[in-house]
Amino acid sequence: MRPKHIVVIDDDHLILAMANDFLSAAGYQVSTVDSPIFSNHIIYGSNPPDLIIIDYMMPLMNGDHKIKTLKSKSRSRDIPILLMSSKSHAELQLLAAEAGADGIVTKPFTPGNLVQMVRNYL
């Protein structure tokens, strides 16, 4: 059985590296992308993700817009998506609900927090 595939989208390369390290160490296959605009080749490629984690605030396109787009397409609407941000927990929950995200990840995150959130949605 192949490991679960997680896509992490964030414009901060340190966050991408940390998420990759933490999730890879937990046995997941991880793909990282620094822009939601350039993520379609991974999301709709030959190995679609089992879960997507996307940052809220990014240049060119915010995460909430990308989530709405993904949830509107039949090929991606059933993929669990977690909205990630350093905003307060309550504000992030509201933003996630408005965008149609399945859950949230607050920054900064620890390896245990991130892996547990992923496990909760897989």
Domains and CATH numbers, the chain: 5-121 (3.40.50.2300)
Tens digits of residue pLDDT in 29-65: 999 999 999 999 999 999 999 999 999 999 888 999 9
**pLDDT for res 111:** 92
Question: To 10 degrees, the CA torsion angle through 118, 121, 117, 106?
Answer: 110
Is 85 a residue whose pLDDT tops 90? Answer: yes
Positive or negative torsion for Cα 57, 62, 63, 68: positive
Tell me what pLDDT residue 45 has.
Answer: 92
d(CA 27, CA 115): 10
The C-alpha atoms of residue 51 and residue 79 are separated, in whole angstroms, by 6
**Residue 1 banded pLDDT, cuts 50, 70, 90:** confident
Residue 120 clears pLDDT 90, i.e. is over it: yes
- Summarize the confidence of residues 9-22 as an average pLDDT: 97
| pLDDT value of residue 86 | 92
Q: Looking at the predicted structure, is the pLDDT value of residue 18 above 90?
A: yes
The pLDDT score that the predictor gives to residue 60 is: 87
Percent of the chain with pLDDT over 70: 100
